Amino acid sequence: MALVVVGGQTKHVGKTTLVCEIIRRFVSARWTAAKITSHSHKPHGCAPVASGSDWTIWEQSASDSQVDTALYLKAGAVRSLLVSAEAESLASACAALKAEFPANENAIVESTAGSEVLAPDLFLLVVNPENQEFKSSANQQLARAHAIVVNSPVQRMSVVENVERALTVHAMQAGIDPRLASLIEGLLKRPGI
């Protein structure tokens, strides 16, 4: 099983779009998709599957809405989960989330803060140089990213220029960058994954 985590510098930079494009491109990988949020609420079309102190894991059952977890199902995920967890409970919630991943299938998680706790095989960080907001959790995870996905026509971004070991690719209108596709394909073919 491969575990891919997609984080972002802030809200509305294209994290969900990238997750859906990866699921579509590699639909045969049989993804369990999940989103981690700190917002506590009962989501529409979801049923609880696990809970603890200050966290709940919900399973999305309907793909007829525009919420992120429904979009994962529309893209081809075999299962879609929403993790609602307070920051203090993130480690416990992520441990429970990992237990929800089937051993012979792959998982993709939309979360910036959870990237360190989950220890993914591949961590992608979506950034937009036109957006000046940069979450502290994203800034802390920048050096851990295996690839930076720039979601903007702007070619240079000072925060990305200092990350030498990360592959930097640009988001596409549809599909994913061929270099990123190659990276994911290599991960999915790796023995023991």
Q: Of the candidates 148, 155, 152, which has an alpha carbon nearest to the alpha carbon of residue 130?
A: 152
- pTM attached to this predicted model: 0.91
DSSP code, position 142: G
Residues with Cβ within 8 Å of 182's Cβ and at least 6 positions away in sequence, in order, are: none
Give CA–CA dist 92/108, Å, rounded. Answer: 18
* Higher per-residue confidence, 171 vs 110: 110
Collapsing DSSP to helix, strand or coil, 31 comes out as: strand
State pLDDT tens for residues 11-55.
888 999 999 999 999 999 999 999 999 877 777 788 999 999 899
Average pLDDT over residues 142-156: 80
CATH of 3-189, one of 2.60.120.620, 3.40.50.720, 3.40.50.300, 3.90.950.10: 3.40.50.300
Give CA–CA dist 129/114, Å, rounded. Answer: 23
Residue spans per domain, the chain:
3-189
